[in-house]
Each structure stands twice: as C-alpha cells, then as structure tokens.
Amino acid sequence: MAPLTTLPELLTYSLFLLLAWTAVDVYVTRYGPLAGTRSLTKVHNWFYAAVSLVMLVRILNTDDSKDSFTIRYIFHLSKFYESIDILLVCASGSQISDSLAFHHFTTPYLTYLRYVDHHGGWRPFAVLNNFHHLLVYTFFARGKGGGVLLRSVLPYTGILQLIVSVWVDVMYGLDKYYDGGLEPWWPNLGAIALVGGYFVLFFQGFGFRVGQKMVLLVGLLGLFLILRALVDGVKTAL
C-alpha cells in the first residue's frame, strides 16, 4: 500500500503539522520572523506553480481506460506538500487565517476520499484545481508585481473549481445511491461536506455573513439536485 493513503497516516500527519505550526509560532512570538523566510517562500511558490502545471498537463493527457493511479496519487501527495504554506506564512510573522488553516488541514482528506480509491469523476476538479493553483502560486511568487489580471481572475477560478467539485460528487453520489449501494456513496458525501466548507469560507473575504453563505451553499446544492432530476427525466424520456 502506498504511503499516506490510510486514515491513521493522515491523522498522524495532521498532528505533525499542528505541532510544527505550534513550534514555529512559539519561536516567532519570542524571537521574531525567521530569516530568509520570504526568499524561501518565493522559491516554494514558483516550485509549486511549476508542479501544478506539470500535473495539469499530465492529468489532461491521462487515459482513463488505463491505470490513472500514479497521477491521482501524485495529486494526493501534492496536498501534503502544499500544507507547508502554513509553516512559511507563520515563519514570516503573518497570521494564519481560518480559511487557510482549514484548507490545508483538510485537503489531504478530500483527496484521500476521492482520489485514492473512490475516484469516479476525479478529472474535472483535479484539472480546475491545478489550473487555479498554477495561477495562485504564480501570483504570489511574483509578489507585488503579481499583476492586476491574475488577481481579477483568481476569484472566478476558485469558485468554479468548487462548483464543479460539488456538482460531480452530487451526480456520482446519487448514481451510487440509486444503484442500491453497490459502490459506497459516503466518499462523495464527505467530499461535498469538505468542499462545502471551502465554499463558505471562500466568501468570507467578500463580506458575506455565515448565514448568507449557508443560504448560498444550500441554494447551490438545491440547484444541483433540480438539474440532476431534469437530466434523469431527459434520460428516461429518451
């Protein structure tokens, strides 16, 4: 079995990340930001932008009729590396936002649920997520010269990947449910819950209150269910 593909391993990593974050935070509180963090962060951002581009190209050229485990596993592992963001941001003396912490602590669980074993419909979100991260990490790697165009595009690529992720999991989850449980649908439900959390936190920076964000999320899920019912109706008619 490949490393970091079991729940105990994920929980162990989460504990390690929490302890490392705490240690860095204590150090920064006592002695100030770590020297060289900004340069290291820039290297990290350029590196992960390149990794995202390579994964994007590889995913687009992966034949689903053959074994896609290798690229799905690499995508899963990339989320562990991505969590280094927390340590770098903390080491620079900046505060860790709730959305950043939730995102980096939970994305390995999302890829564990949907990209290791129960991977039906894995490609759309993986493509959009890597494209979004290519833009995000390029933007931050460029620093203040990140560019107005990149900044203006990021909110749209961010919300698009979340919408597509929920849509795919609703579709696949309902298919599994209606098939009588031949395949487990709980991974899709778990993914919807996690991505729903990202969806709520995503709007935090746009001035939406929690109640408003929950209404948006529930409304979006309702729209998905209505569309799914319409699709099923069309299939039945044909």
Tens digit of pLDDT at every position of the chain (238 positions): 799 999 899 999 999 999 999 999 999 999 999 999 999 999 999 999 999 999 999 999 988 767 789 999 999 999 999 999 999 999 999 999 888 898 999 999 999 989 998 888 999 999 999 999 999 999 999 876 667 788 889 988 998 999 899 889 988 988 888 887 788 888 898 898 889 888 877 776 555 555 555 555 555 555 555 565 555 555 565 5
Q: Is residue 1 part of a domain?
A: no
Euclidean distance between CA atoms 163 and 36, whole angstroms: 38
The label of the residue with tokens 């935070």 reads: 25
3-state secondary structure of 35: coil
Residue 44 contacts residue 87 (beta carbons within 8 Å): no
Range of the domain at 93: 7-236
Q: Is residue 198 part of a domain?
A: yes
The maximal CA–CA distance of the chain, rounded, in angstroms, is 69
Q: Is residue 57 part of a domain?
A: yes
Q: Answer positive or negative: Cα dihedral of 120, 123, 129, 133.
A: positive
Euclidean distance between CA atoms 202 and 58, whole angstroms: 28
Q: For the range 85-91, what are the long-range contacts, defined as Cβ-Cβ under 8 Å and sequence gap of 24 or more?
A: 85/44, 86/17, 86/21, 87/20, 87/21, 87/24, 88/37, 88/40, 88/41, 88/44, 89/41, 90/21, 90/24, 90/25, 90/28, 91/24, 91/28, 91/33, 91/34, 91/37
Q: Is residue 50 part of a domain?
A: yes
The label of the residue with tokens 């596993």 reads: 73
What are 212's two structure tokens?
């408003």
Q: For residue 27, what are the CA distances in angstroms to 42, 98, 105?
A: 21, 21, 21
Q: How many domains does the chain have?
A: 1
What are 39's two structure tokens?
């340069």
Residue 168 contacts residue 153 (beta carbons within 8 Å): no
